[in-house]
Structure 1
Amino acid sequence: MTDQLPEPAVTIVREFFGALELGVVDEALDLLDPAIVWKNTSLPTLRGKNRVATVLRGLDRPKLGFSADIHHIAADGDIVLTDRTDYLHVGPVRIGFWVSGTFELRDGRIVLWDDHFSKGNVARGAVVGVVKAITGR
């Protein structure tokens, strides 16, 4: 088995999530195409970097946060698929839920971010997060 360098598209998606986790939203935004389309299951589609920036900057507050554990990531050219657990942090509550994401890149920038998740899984994550915050476990 030989070690292979990651696909450039995989590196860009990993850098995007890394920037979001570190709270350096402007660095994350630099990786987006101006015409970005962000789709989330059952939520309105956001079109354009300015609209996406508004949402991402909204997470950049003292009592809010975001992180993700990427379990699997694979690319076929400029298409990247992720299987991950996303976490939304609201004060002491950490809400974890499974997400399957598809990213399409063009000229080194993300033009499509399409996430699929279960509302039931988000609700379960919220309940677990509240119980853990209350019990300290």
Structure 2
Amino acid sequence: MIENNMTPEQVVRRFFERWSVSVDEIYQSVRDTMAPDAVWENVGLSRTVGPDEALGVFDAFEQMKTAHHIDVELLAIASSGNTVLTERRDIIVNGDGAVSLNIQVMGAFEIRDGKIVAWRDYFDTAQFIS
């Protein structure tokens, strides 16, 4: 659950910390943290509005079918006002501990009232296009 007194950077940190627990916790984190009208864009691949559409992208993502959790390694984080920028590695870990995907991502988050209202991820999409 997100506390209203968290800074935008704390909101983003907590959002990703929860991903290392389980897939169920990833989904709950999305439900808890994204505003009902939040826009999530995987630039060049998909654009969603609201937590339910975002979770639909997670459901359609092949690596999530065998995932146990996602380790998010924050390489850098910076914030200015309500905007938080992240450079990170998203590491999808299967139930047997094997890594099914390790991708470097730049992310931009806009936070309002403790909720993500915009989330844009930038990464090399070539590995996802077949």
TM-score, normalised via structure 2 length = 0.75
In structure 2, distance between residues paired with 1:54 and 1:112: 17
List gaps (5 residues or longer) in structure 1. Answer: 1-6, 124-137
CA displacement at 1:67 relative to structure 2: 1.8
- Structure 1 counterpart of 2:74, from 65, 70, 76: 70
Specify which structure has the higher proportion of strand: 2
Unmatched 5+ stretches in structure 2:
1-5
CA contact (8 A) 1:20 1:28 kept: no
Displacement, 1:62? 7.6
Larger radius of gyration: 1
What is the aligned residue count? 116
Report whether the alignment pairs 1:19 with 2:18.
yes
2:57 alignment partner, one of 55, 62, 65: 55
SS at match of 1:13: helix
Higher relative contact order, chain-length normalized (CA < 8 Å, sep 6+): 2
Aligned to 1:45: 47
CA-CA distance at 1:58 after TM superposition: 6.6
Cα distance, 1:51 vs. partner?
Answer: 0.9
Identity of aligned residues (%): 29
**What is the Cα deviation at residue 56 of structure 1?**
4.1
**8 Å CA contact 1:17, 1:28 repeated in 2:** no
Q: 1:34 offset after TM fit, Å? A: 0.5
Letter in 2 for 1:49: P
Alpha-carbon offset, residue 117 of structure 1: 0.2
